[in-house]
Structure formats: C-alpha cells, structure tokens
Amino acid sequence: MTVSLKALLVGTVAPLGPAAVPSGIAKHPLLVPVRLGREGFAGDAQGDRRHHGGPDKAVHHYPFDHYPAWRGEIGDRAVLDRPGAFGENLSTLGLTEADVAIGDMFRLGTAVIEVSQGRQPCWKLNHRFAVADMALRVQRSGRTGWYCRVVEEGTVGPGDSLRLLDRHAPDWTVERLRRLLYVDPFDRDALAAMAALPRLAEGWRRLAARRLATGAVEDQTERLSGRAAALEIRPPAG
C-alpha cells in the first residue's frame, strides 16, 4: 500500500472564535521538506498542550476523501476549498478510517510513523467551520481522521508518499474503535480487548479501562461543545 501526500501542513498558534482561544488548528501547506521529530513537525504548534500534541498525537492525518461529503452536508465553505480544514498535518486520497488500523506503520519520507489512535473531535471545530455542532457531526459521521506517533525521526517533503511497512493489529481499525467508543459503548469484551491493545495510545487504553471499572460512558459535553460537563451515561438497568 502506497499513497501519495496531497498536502503536508503545519500551523502556528492563533486566536480562534469569539473568545480568541489560542489554537493551532489553522494549518498551511509546505512547499519544502521539514523535519519530523517525536513531538511532530518542525514549525507546527498546538494551543492546548493538555489535549493536543505529544508523542501519541504527533501527526494528525485526515483523508481528503471526506471533503466532498462535508460539502454535501454543510455546504460550500471557504475552509473546505483546500486541505487543512480539520487541522491535519497529512492530507491524502485513498486511505480512510475503515482502511487504517492501530499499529499500522508507514514509511513517510525518511521517517517512520505508526497509527496510535483516532481523532476525538473537539469544540474548536465548531468555530473553525462556523457550524454549532460540527464536532458532534464529525464524531457521528466516522469521518474523524487519526493520529500517529513517530517511530523513527526523519525528513518529510510535500511530494513524499506513505508506504505501508507493517500491520500489527489489522482488525482494530480506526472505524472499529470509533464504533466501540460512540455507538456500542458497553461491549465489555471489546472494551477489555481495547484496554489491552499494546500499540493503542495510553490515553485511549485508560479510557476503556475506566469504562469497564465504572460501567459508565465519560461525559463528552465539554469536549464537543465547550460547555460545562453534564451527567455520565450508563446502560439501562437489567
């Protein structure tokens, strides 16, 4: 499997939305090669390091394949005219959440990256697109994108390709994880397997373990809307 980059993107922190929240979601395409280290691409930044960035979320990959569907759903918007609408570092055609699995390793330029988790959309997408429930739409649609960690540092250019090197857990696609998290969240056997998935990001393994321990789905209100948290969701009694 080899897929060419449509765009390679980075961005600095800038104000977003009415409250001018610091965010690195606005990315611009690179025309020259750039260094890729354990924490991400040189010149790329995040406004909220608590929830974004770090070794398990060093690279954000979003399929350009999804852009036509978004235009059909929310209409023509300037942000969808080119790659980078979702804050992605890598834009490609030919790979989606149904194709890519946790632990998939790719050669990218002289670097090697590994799929680590799906993207959990947050409320900043609502401001990015001027659509009040955009983050929830992304979550429900399955068109979320995913994150990669950097296994081998190197240099990546805008004309490079992703070449699949190995698959460690091909059954655990990004789409399968999304369905477990948001569609069928009380499948205890699957949650136990998720919690033990070696190459899954530690934060997601902890999330699965917490659901097993509490029997409840963590509140997602603040992440999706920016509003104060609501109540946890528990399965019906009996």
List C-alpha distances in Å: 125 to 69, 105, 189, 197: 16, 28, 32, 29
Q: Tell me, what's the pLDDT at 238?
A: 45
Asked, for residue 211, whether it belongs to a domain, the answer is no
Q: With respect to residue 202, please indicate whether it lies within any of the assigned structural domains.
A: no
**According to the model, what pLDDT value does residue 46 have?**
82
Determine, yes or no, domain membership for 220. no
Confidence at residue 235, expressed as pLDDT on a 0 to 100 scale: 55
In total, how many domains does the chain have? 1
pTM to 2 decimal places = 0.93
Query: How far apart, in whole angstroms, are the C-alpha atoms of residue 57 and residue 91?
Result: 16
Are 27 and 87 in contact by the 8 Å Cβ rule? The answer is: yes
Domain-embedded: residue 93 = yes
CA distance 91 to 6: 5
pLDDT of residue 52: 67
**Whether 180 contacts 187, CB under 8 Å:** yes
Q: In percent, how much of the chain has pLDDT > 90?
A: 86
Residue 196, domain member (yes or no)? no
pLDDT value of residue 11: 95
Residue 108 lies in a domain: yes
Give the CATH number, domain containing residue 149: 2.40.33.20
The reply to whether 72 falls in a domain is yes
Read off the pLDDT of residues 64-110 as tens digits, 9 standing for 90 and up.
Answer: 999 999 999 999 999 999 999 999 999 999 999 999 999 999 999 99
122 neighbors 51 (Cβ within 8 angstroms):
yes
Give me the pLDDT at residue 19, please.
Answer: 86
Least Cα distance to 19 among 50, 48, 42 occurs for 48
Ranges in the chain, pLDDT < 70 = 47-52, 227-238
Range of the domain at 116: 2-171
